[in-house]
Amino acid sequence: MIKSTIYKYPGENDTVLRLFKYLKPHKKFAMFTIFLVFFNNILTLALPFLMSEVINKGITNGDVGYIIKIGSLMLVISALNMGISVASSYCSSSVSAGFSRILRREVFLKIESFSQADLDKIGVPSLITRSTNDIRHVQDMTLMLLKSVVTVPVMLAGGSIMAVVMDPTLSLIIFAIAPVIALIAFFVAKKIIPKFKIVQTKTDKLNLIIREGINGIRVTRAFGRKKYEFERFNKANYELTEVALKINRTFASLIPIITLFIFSIVIGLVYIGGRQIQVLTDPVEVSNTVGDLQAFILYLIFIVLALSTAAAMFIMIPRARISAVRICEVLDVVPEIKETSSDKDGGELKGRLEFRNVSFGYNGDEGFVSVLDDISFTSNAGEVTAIIGGTGSGKSTIINLIPRFYDVTDGAVLIDGVDIRDMRQSTLRAKIGFIPQEVFLFSGTIADNLRYGKEDATDEELWRALEISQAKDFVEKLPDGLNHFVSQNGINLSGGQKQRLAIARAIIKNTEFYIFDDSFSSLDYATDSRLRRKLHESLTDASIIIVAQRVGTIINADRIIVLDKGKIAAEGTHKELLESSELYGEIVASQLKKEEAEAETV
């Protein structure tokens, strides 16, 4: 079983800070990035001062040697700055990308531990958004922080100090600039921060519609509802676009506002500096003032940019925090299916499945909803136990309790004489070959899909499983045989072909229990009959549980359980139930004539 490699720190409340613990593997690289950014800022602050020195001492005195000397130093610093800037960008990108990779891994592992009930609470489309968009937002914030956490204080402090050195009087303008930028940031944040959460919710909704549209495309076409689905998608897409545009327009307006603000300050400073120069008579003093004024303007621009970056952080951090909250909601889910600390592999009763007074229900909008009530039965190795009943009688619920997709509300499910809650989930599920009602095949070759049941299966084992599942003939006719490519969810295969491949995938596990959840529904009667005969011949030591709608599929089962409204209404063989169960008789009568039913019995 794959485990998280990150330590858990209890008692952390701030979600953004909580997620930063995943930076631990990149701590040294992150510190090196911060050092590079700090060094880059120091060198940047030196350039305006050196420029003023060139003007004040070199140009004023006509000292070409001094100009070349300081100019060369400025070129060296600029080249060094460029190299450091590239290195810091590389390091910060590596750290943020590595951070998001670890975070995605942790979220994926957490989702893998979810029970079906946990998945239902959050929803698959929302989980996809949280695993992609939300993590990207936190990654972007991390990248920005690595560059800005040093840049903002260093440029603010260093720029202010150097501005005072250049011109103490004009430096007073700094105290007027800071409140203006802070005010702009406050109004922008107040306007767009609430919209960030709306964007995430709208994205979840759009993902849901896209996912339903793709998965249900055949139904959409069959019912001629293409226009309806397009309008539904278009509405959700428009709503998301509208909110995103409002945010983007607000951000877009910031750039010209800040640019206008900076140039207004520069024009004002040039005007004030020009007036100061007009009253001077000493050429040297005039030259010094010009050099200091140019340096002062650059330092002031550094300060304004640092304040603007701080304002952007003030806006972006809440956005990332919303995403962080959504990520932490996933990481903080306590799975309903709790893993046991012990790992009992089973007793001497190999191949024995027992339901002992099992009840199951869930809390709905209108209170507790009971699905199963006091279910008890036993299935031994070599036996076929069939479950039949009307829609909503609880058949699939019984099936989902065996591999612990859900936990029982009361009673116990025992495998090999051991309560499945005392087994590790990996141990339990290794004993089960499961064929779900809704078959899912992964994109890849047929062999890849079959080896999902057993990674090291040989080609001979694959063909044997295909032969038992009645899939060998159609696979042999495919151009590439076992290497035939299967599209996602097997959309390039028929329903019957997909079911037979799913059955083969389970058979290849060669395990103690096989569960068929209405897994023969897409097969014709002849194929169904041949498949059941092969299963009977090949899986002699396994306990087989079959849920079916067709009486013909279960007619030869060792035990047939008839469910009605979550309770066992009758139990016995086909012949016994025909005589003792009115409900079973009605089911049979609705599908087979009495003579056909008797003829089907072996």
Task: Give the per-residue pLDDT at 276.
Answer: 63
214 Cα distance to chain centroid: 19
Rounded to whole angstroms, the Cα distance separating 52 from 558 reads 97
479 Cα distance to chain centroid: 36
Task: Give the per-residue pLDDT at 593.
Answer: 57
Task: Give the per-residue pLDDT at 358.
Answer: 92
Give 509-533 pLDDT, tens digit per residue. Answer: 888 899 988 888 777 778 888 888 8
Rounded to whole angstroms, the Cα distance separating 347 from 412 reads 16
Rounded to whole angstroms, the Cα distance separating 147 from 89 reads 8
Contacts of 539 (CB under 8 A, 6+ apart): 507, 514
Q: Report the half-sphere exposure of 439 (CA within 13 A, side-chain side).
A: 24
Contacts of 64 (CB under 8 A, 6+ apart): 58
Task: Give the per-residue pLDDT at 463.
Answer: 92
Rounded to whole angstroms, the Cα distance separating 507 from 491 reads 22
Rounded to whole angstroms, the Cα distance separating 354 from 421 reads 13
Rounded to whole angstroms, the Cα distance separating 189 from 319 reads 10
SS (H, E, C) 232-276: HHHHHHHHHHHHHHHHHHHHHHHHHHHHHHHHHHHHHHHHHHHHH
Query: Cα-Cα-Cα-Cα dihedral of 447, 452, 457, 459, to 10°?
Result: -10
Task: Give the per-residue pLDDT at 439.
Answer: 83
Catalogue all structural domains in the chain, each as residue range(s) with its CATH number.
Answer: 15-331 (1.20.1560.10), 345-431+513-528+545-583 (3.40.50.300), 434-510 (3.40.50.300)
Cα–Cα distance list, 66 to 56, 57, 72, 287, 358 (Å): 11, 8, 10, 16, 93
Contacts of 407 (CB under 8 A, 6+ apart): 115, 336, 337, 401, 421
Q: Which residues of the chain have pLDDT under 50?
A: 1-13, 280-281, 284, 286-287, 594-595, 597-599, 601-602
Task: Give the per-residue pLDDT at 5.
Answer: 41
Provide the whole-model pTM: 0.68
Neighbours of 406 (CB within 10 A): 17
Task: Give the per-residue pLDDT at 82.
Answer: 92
Contacts of 502 (CB under 8 A, 6+ apart): 435, 436, 439, 440, 441, 519
Query: What is the 8-class DSSP label of residue 114?
Result: -
Task: Give the per-residue pLDDT at 9.
Answer: 37
Beta-strand runs (E) in 250-383: 353-364, 367-379
Rounded to whole angstroms, the Cα distance separating 432 from 277 reads 90
